[in-house]
Amino acid sequence: MLFLLAKRLAAVDDALLSYNSVVKISSRSEEEAATLPEEEIARLNSAVNSGQEKWMDAFQAFDGCRILAELVCGKELVDALYQLTVVMNKIVVEGADKGNWEVYGNCAIELGRKLYPSCEPIFRG
């Protein structure tokens, strides 16, 4: 269970970083976008959609594992996983809904503080 949880956390972090990166790359000014060929625009849109799907799949897998962890793990780990979920949702809502992907960088420290303490019980066994 704990190994699966660590694996899901890594997948979520990777998906979030990838999604953030592809959205930043595809976000261009209207002037820049007007000069791009249609196939480049289609490729960028496809990459954004793929990044969003990867994020959603990874987060759903993590969330399912987190719910299972609530049944079998201690309160410390459950609380840390909940805090991680809050930070990750904040990043995606700010980035996807509001276009403020700088929140990823701003929350990186907070995410790290949440991630490493929540992993400590995993490594302790």
Tens of pLDDT, residues 13-68: 888 888 877 877 777 655 676 788 888 888 888 988 898 899 889 989 988 888 88
Give residue 57's pLDDT: 94
Q: For residue 26, give the amino acid letter.
A: S
Give residue 82's pLDDT: 84
C-beta atoms surrounding 54 within 10 Å: 18
Query: Looking at the predicted structure, is the pLDDT value of residue 1 above 90?
Result: no
pTM of the model: 0.71
- Listed in sequence order, the residues at least 6 apart from 35 whose beta carbon sits closer than 8 Å to its beta carbon are none
DSSP state of 73: S
- Listed in sequence order, the residues at least 6 apart from 45 whose beta carbon sits closer than 8 Å to its beta carbon are 26
Q: pLDDT category, 112, cuts 50, 70, 90?
A: low
Q: pLDDT category, 79, cuts 50, 70, 90?
A: confident
Q: pLDDT category, 122, cuts 50, 70, 90?
A: low
Both tokens assigned to 120: 């400590």
Both tokens assigned to 53: 């799907």
DSSP state of 97: I
Q: What percent of the chain has pLDDT over 70?
A: 78
Q: Rounded distance, CA 101 to CA 86, Å?
A: 16
